[in-house]
Amino acid sequence: MAYKLYYWDGIPGRGEFVRLVLEETGADYVDIAREPDRQGRGTTAMLKLLKDGDGATIPFAPPFLKDGDLLISHVANILFYLGPKLGLAPEEEDLRFVANGLQLTITDFVAEIHDTHHPIGVSLYYEDQKPEASRRSSDFLSERLPKFLGYFERVLRQNPKGAGHIVGGRLSYVDLSLFQLVEGLRYAFPKAMRSYEENIPGVIALHDAVAERPNIRNYLASDRRLSFNEAGIFRHYPELDRAS
């Protein structure tokens, strides 16, 4: 039975962290809101689940995943579930919790990236909070981006199994998520990333290695891979970008 992924159509957003795992492993899945024969009914079905839930489970927000009768919400929770099933989690149980901790740190980072363009309220347009976004982005680029990316670089260097992967000795879902982080940051803050990437050679090498994996390479070249745009998490507003 195919996995069912629920997320907004038209933006990669948080759903992309799940898609990368499904695409890398060749898993059978349906991206509900993007099914061409549904003509908007996929989004309607998602909204109904957000309102009424599915049995005992009511998700707060997409993405969420259905595997048979099981409904799982939140990116890190979904990946914690899928990783072992699809061979993208460490074999050692203790390292699976390490991987989950790293994914939760990515979740924190993604929230801070989003808040660079929406620091006051998500219900307001970017144009309604541009001065605040400028201040928030300046702090983000000088303090938070180096803190998070520097942390991931240190974890890579100190991995006892080698710096080729962020946790353990083989590809995990966290590696795929780090790839997406670099892709999104390069889109949102190209100047800052060009000036900072020399400080994180391990993270960049990991990104490049993921990009060359056959299933990922094919996915990136397909129409299933949505482009970044100014409706998602990673948004490019030139006035917010500067060399870090």
- Residue 60 CA to chain centroid, in angstroms? 18
Nearest CA-CA partner of 30 in 224, 176, 163 = 224
* Alpha carbons 64 and 71: distance in angstroms, whole number: 7
Structural domains for the chain: 3-86 (3.40.30.10), 93-240 (1.20.1050.10)
Q: What angle do CA 82, 31, 116 make, to 5 degrees?
A: 80
Please give the mean pLDDT across all residues of the chain.
Answer: 95
pLDDT tens figures, 44-68: 888 888 898 887 788 999 999 999 9
Q: Measured at the alpha carbon of residue 190, what is the angle toward residues 186 and 194, in degrees to the nearest 5?
A: 95
Return the DSSP state at 54. Answer: B
Within 13 A of 21's CA, how many CA atoms are on the CB side?
A: 27
Higher pLDDT, residue 48 or 182: 182
Q: What is the pLDDT of residue 36?
A: 66
- Lowest average pLDDT, out of 33-37, 160-164, 239-243, goes to 33-37
Tell me the pLDDT tens digit for each residue of 1-37.
899 999 998 999 999 999 999 999 999 999 998 876 5
- pLDDT tens for each residue of 67-81: 998 999 999 999 999
Q: Which of 31, 22, 30, 23 is nearest to 85 (CA)?
A: 22
pTM to 2 decimal places: 0.95
Instruction: Report the alpha-carbon distance of residue 145 to residue 203 in Å, rounded.
Output: 13
